[in-house]
Amino acid sequence: MKIAKQKEIIKYKASLFDLIHGNECKNNKVLSWLRVVKSFLDVEDVYYYYNDNYYFRLMEDSSYTDLPKEITYEKAENLFSDSMLIDFTTSSSKIHPFFDYGFLFKTKEKSPQGILWLKFKEDLLLREDVLQDFWEESCRFLQFFMQMKTIKDDEHRYRELFNVTEMFHSTREVQKLLSHIIVTLERVFPKYVFHLLLSNDYDDYANLPIGNFDFNQAVPKAMKAFVNGSMEVDEGSVLYAPLRGKQGVYGVLEVDSQGGPNFSSQQVEFIRLLAYTAGSALENAKLYEQSRRLITDLQLINETSHQLNMNSKMSETLSLLKKQIKHSFRASVVGFTFLEKDEFEILSTSSPFFFTSEGEKYISFVRNRIQKEKDSIFIGDMMDKLCNGSYRSLMAVPMIQGDTLKGFCIVLHELPYSFSFDMYKLLQSFIHHSTLAITNAMLREKLEKLVITDQMTNLYARHYLDEKMESSLSEDRCGVFLLIDIDDFKSINDSYGHQVGDEVIIQVSNHIKNAVGDKGSVARWGGEELAVYFPNKSIETGKQIAERVVETAPDNSNPKVTLSCGVTSWKLAGDNRETIKELVRRADQALYFAKNNGKNQVVMGN
């Protein structure tokens, strides 16, 4: 029977000294220590149980089996009570049929350092003083080893923290930042599971464990970490670290130890620093993205406003605005309405959908809301507002000039939540800056119409028809001119008064305008005389329309009146072109002949 001698403790201490100053990696140091123990005590096998997830043993005996899972470190530690040694050969509390002895190692501060299980080759008598020295020297070694391990782990963690911080300061890409956080954590804590729960809108980050922070289903500890910005641990195995910046909390980092040991203070501090650094970097990246987006938005608004102010026609202005909105907001349909005489008119440049019965429901919904609240509308899902509607996402912004509501713009998309809040704010700025250009275009068109339009009949003014005829004479190959006069108009004024006379002129003007349509231009020539010009039309076409106008005039006037008409035409012959003066002179002669030869007829000029 072999008995360990006291002098062999010195050899054991020397071996431990060599281990401490050797070059083995940290895990091999433990295994090397187990070999020294095996040699010193001459045992068959040794097993170092550090906690529920970490153990070391010499894999030299294939007949050995691991501890049962129900034997936790805490249960095993409780077997020792106040003793440092358990002799399982005599104890009733046998932890495993394989082991004979067990040593419990603790520091002077009673911190656990692990349990050493031994299997002897034969019955061994161990002197108490040798066991005490062995236990003390082993405790010192383990304490020193754990301190060195902690220092190296801290060095490794803070080196990683330094590297990730350096990367955070060198990039402004949110996805790259988040990816690097996960990679760093997986490298430092390979046995843990991580999730980044972000509180704001996030994109699809491929296979990264990143999700949305669900305020309705978040566990209490996660919610507390988010609200208070504090580190929280749930039952010792799941840690929640807030991703906190200077302006707020952007999410929570969830660290799950998978049932492993409680987080050490060093681990908690590292995760806290990493989460804080990540939160600051995420905030900076988002602020950078926001600033770039704002610059882009301002450029878009300025460019669009510049282009809108360059277009004089209302239709061109709205068409350009519609095109920009569909492109910038990925809108499905865009509509514009303007308030005219207390009625909202859907403008022709709007998407065709708004002229359907379903489209009018959306217009009516927005009109009622804007008239009531005088504010913009942003609805992510219209299902509760308009059941069975084709479009789920809606944005609408009123067009206000000064304090006056001019109309509104409505933007729709088929899918719910297709528009972000940033898009909504941009649309508000977009419409606000565009309203002035739209209003100016409308006023310009009204002014132009006033200049070229006779106020009583809403026909073209004589000078405008002169301009159109002048242009036609220089560009077209032919044309027809009609000069029309209301017969016996003085007797209408004398019998019914000038107000009725004006009504008759308006009735006749509308009658002629309906007959001509878009084939020609109708103008009030002066008094009760009206004129029509047809560019690129033959004399036969002009005559047919003139005869139809004269024939149906009594049926379209009250009191009934008849008309006289002189018709003349021109046709390009070589380089010789007709003059307006000559064309009007010949039409006037034909009209004079008609009025002096029975009236109520059409006469062709020479």
- Summarize pLDDT for 407-440 with one digit per residue, the tens: 899 999 998 888 888 788 888 887 887 777 677 6
What does the block give as tokens for 509?
Answer: 């003007």
With a pLDDT cut of 70, the percent of the chain lying above it is 75
Q: Which residue pairs from 487-493 have beta carbons closer than 8 angstroms and sit at least 24 positions apart in sequence?
A: 487/561, 487/562, 487/563, 487/564, 487/595, 487/599, 487/600, 488/561, 488/562, 488/599, 489/527, 489/528, 489/561, 492/559, 492/561
CA dihedral 584→587→588→593, nearest 10 degrees, is 170
Quick one: average pLDDT of 595-602? 93
Predicted local distance difference test score (pLDDT) of residue 371 = 86
Predicted local distance difference test score (pLDDT) of residue 544 = 93
Quick one: average pLDDT of 225-236? 84
Name residue 385's amino acid.
K
- Summarize pLDDT for 272-281 with one digit per residue, the tens: 877 877 777 7
pLDDT at 35 over 90: no
Most confidently modeled of 183-187, 289-293, 498-502? 498-502
What does the block give as tokens for 284?
Answer: 């900076």
What does the block give as tokens for 93?
Answer: 């509390």
Q: Three-state secondary structure along 305-319?
A: HHHHHHCCCHHHHHH
Integer Cα distance of 525 and 544 in angstroms: 21
Cα dihedral 309, 314, 320, 323 sign:
positive
Most confidently modeled of 38-52, 288-302, 448-462? 448-462
Of 6-20, 153-167, 257-271, 374-388, least confident by mean pLDDT is: 153-167
Cα dihedral 529, 533, 534, 538 sign:
positive
In the chain the domains, ranked by start, together with CATH numbers, are 8-150 (3.30.450.40), 171-288 (3.30.450.40), 311-447 (3.30.450.40), 462-604 (3.30.70.270)
Q: What's the pTM value of the predicted model, to 2 decimals?
A: 0.43
- Summarize pLDDT for 459-475 with one digit per residue, the tens: 888 888 888 999 898 88
Integer Cα distance of 160 and 314 in angstroms: 61
Quick one: average pLDDT of 308-329? 73
Of 21-30, 144-153, 252-261, 333-342, least confident by mean pLDDT is: 21-30
Give which of 353, 354, 446, 435 is closest to 398, Cα–Cα: 435
HSE of 227 in the Cβ direction (CA atoms, 13 Å)? 9
DSSP string, 433-447: HHHHHHHHHHHHHHH
Quick one: average pLDDT of 20-38? 72
